[in-house]
Structure 1
Amino acid sequence: MDEEERRRKIRDFSFDNCKRGNQGFQRILLQLFGYNGHGKSSFINSAICAWFKSDYKNYANAMDTDENPTTQRTSYTLTKNIVLVDNRGFCKMDSFEIGEVFAQLGNLLPLDQGVGWSKGFGLADRIVEAEPLVKASDFIIPIFVYSVKNSPSSEFKNEIKGVFSTARNLTGVVPIIVLTNKNHPNISDISNMFVDFGAEKIFAVENYTEKNPKKRKETDKEIIKFLHEVIREAQFQAEHRQDANQEMIKRKRFVLNYIHTRELVIQKVNLKV
């Protein structure tokens, strides 16, 4: 299949055309998540430039340093049925940050608003308050973005594996992996690491950045392949899903249970002290 045929399939995708009909789903949310400074915002820029065949522009306020200014869930529309979401990145992955990551990934917090880390049951309150603002009709596909420049320790690998597994359990979809800085020597080792974790779809790109904005055919081609695989995954998943509202309830129960269990553990620790 050539690139133009892939573009046509991406452009024409609709849940209405799936075998079971839309089942209450309207659009795909490509939920980009991962560690700070690994290229999520830069990948957003690259995907927009590749899809619209445009010159580089810093749509997502990406930076060429390891700093990450993203502090909210920001949406970027590619087609009427496909939306990229730049979620706030994570860093130390303590129990509070993990809860926030799950709430973003589960689409339990509103799009295009700031995301603040909450302690205690503050996150649960925010999830309840957000109910009128989030859409059960948004079909979630998790996209784990990881820079191959980062060589993880054994402990860090276990943390990544845990995040990967939980994302799969929360969304019901095996996360698609996007590896950035593909020309780095670590590319094979990092790719194999995600294969060992159970990843089924891995794409490697060299993002467009402020320092390297020149358009590259190989980058555009890989991103179009990525988007085409996304709609194929959505079509496959839609053959088995039954009810969009029930999917949302499952995700909410998952995250609220995590918060409840976390607080019980903290209380027990405090009582011992």
Structure 2
Amino acid sequence: MDDAERRRKIRDFTFDRCKRGNQGFERILLQLFGYVGHGKSSLINTVMCVWYNSRYKNCANAAGTDESHTTERLTYAVNKKIIMVDNRGCSSMNTYETGEIFAQLGNLLPLDMSVGWSKGFELVDRIVEAEPYVKASDFIIPIFVYSVRHSPTPELKNELRGIFETARQLTMVVPTVVLTHMNHPNYTEVENMFRDIGTETFFALENYTEENPRRIRETDESVIQFLYEVINDAYFRADHRRDADQEMIDRKLFVLNYIHNRELMIQKINLERQRNVEKIRIAKDHRLKQEEEEKQRQKCQKLHRERMERLQQEFERQRLQAQYEHEERMRQLGNKKGKNNYKK
């Protein structure tokens, strides 16, 4: 199949052509998520440039560094049926930020609005408030964007394994991975990391940027292939029996349960931290008490030694005094005896 045929199939995509009809779905949401500065916005710019066959434009406000300018869930239409969503990236996948990511992936927060990082049960309130603005008719395909310039580590691998498994449970789809900066030497190592955690579908490309806007055939073909495989995957999944409204309810329950468990875990961690702090405090108090007792013991020993030294000195003084007095008496007796002998 050539590039023109793929473009036609992408352009003509509709859920109405599925074996079971649309089952309540109207459009695909390509939910881009991942770390800050890994190329989500740049990927959108590249797709828009290729799909509309235009000169490069920074329509997604992509940053030129590892920083992020994305603070909203902004949408970019490939066509009326295929929408790319630039979700806010995470600097680190901690429990609060992943809660936000899963709420975005589940399409439980409004599109084209600001995204904050909520703590406690604030995210629950935001999900409830968003109910009138989110659509169950949006078919979700998670797209994880990762820059191969960032070397994999065992800690990162474990973190991503947990995130991907949760994303799969939430959306019933294993996230597709788009690797940016594909010509970097880390590419093979990074791809192997994602394969090890169960990733099935990869796409690799060099995004167009303001610094490098010149279009090349390899990138253009990769973008069209990416979109084509996405709609094929949507057709495949939509051919099975599904219920758009029930899936929205299931995603909401999943995320609310995730938040609940997250808070229980955080409370458990905080309690454990408080217990550890209390243990440290008790140990410190015990150590200080022991140190104080040792100081008192050493002080008593010092006082006892000084007292014994004084007694010893006094005893020695008295002994010498008694010896002197004895010798003096003996001398006097000797002198008296000598005088008596002289008289005789």
- Name the TM-score class by shorter chain: over 0.9
- 1:142 and 2:126 are equivalent in the alignment: no
Q: Equivalent residue for 1:31?
A: 31
Segments of structure 1 that go 5 or more residues without pairing to the other structure are: none
Deviation for aligned residue 1:271: 4.1
State the alpha-carbon separation in 1 of the partners of residues 223 and 271 from structure 2: 52
State the alpha-carbon separation in 2 of the partners of residues 33 and 239 from structure 1: 26
CA deviations on 1:135-183 (whole Å, 9 max, x unpaired) are: 0000000001000001021111111121112111110011111000011
Q: Equivalent residue for 1:104?
A: 104
Deviation for aligned residue 1:132: 0.3
Q: Equivalent residue for 1:3?
A: 3
SS in 2 for 1:49: helix
1:13 partner letter: F
Which structure 2 residues correspond to residues 50-61 of structure 1 after superposition, within 5 A? Answer: 50-61=50-61
State the alpha-carbon separation in 2 of the partners of residues 270 and 190 from structure 1: 35
CA deviations on 1:62-119 (whole Å, 9 max, x unpaired) are: 0111101101100001111000000000112221111001001110000000000010
SS in 1 for 2:174: coil
Alpha-carbon contact 2:152-2:189 (below 8 Å) kept: no
Deviation for aligned residue 1:267: 2.6
2:161 partner letter: K
User: Which one has a larger percent helix, Structure 1 or Structure 2?
Assistant: 2
SS in 1 for 2:236: helix
**Structure number with larger C-alpha Rg:** 2
Segments of structure 2 that go 5 or more residues without pairing to the other structure are: 275-344
State the alpha-carbon separation in 2 of the partners of residues 44 and 251 from structure 1: 25
Measured on the aligned residues, the alpha-carbon RMSD in Å equals 1.0
State the alpha-carbon separation in 1 of the partners of residues 98 and 82 from structure 2: 26
State the alpha-carbon separation in 2 of the partners of residues 138 and 149 from structure 1: 33
1:92 partner letter: S
- 1:184 and 2:201 are equivalent in the alignment: no
Q: Equivalent residue for 1:234?
A: 234
CA deviations on 1:189-216 (whole Å, 9 max, x unpaired) are: 1112212221111010100001001111
1:24 partner letter: G
Mean Cα deviation higher: 33-42 or 256-265: 256-265
SS in 2 for 1:130: helix
Q: Equivalent residue for 1:160?
A: 160
Q: Equivalent residue for 1:264?
A: 264
Deviation for aligned residue 1:241: 3.9
State the alpha-carbon separation in 2 of the partners of residues 8 and 223 from structure 1: 14
* Matched positions, count: 273
Mean Cα deviation higher: 251-260 or 187-196: 187-196
State the alpha-carbon separation in 1 of the partners of residues 43 and 133 from structure 2: 26
- 1:120 and 2:120 are equivalent in the alignment: yes
The alignment's TM-score, normalised by the length of structure 2, stands at: 0.78
User: Which one has a larger percent strand, Structure 1 or Structure 2?
Assistant: 1
1:147 partner letter: S
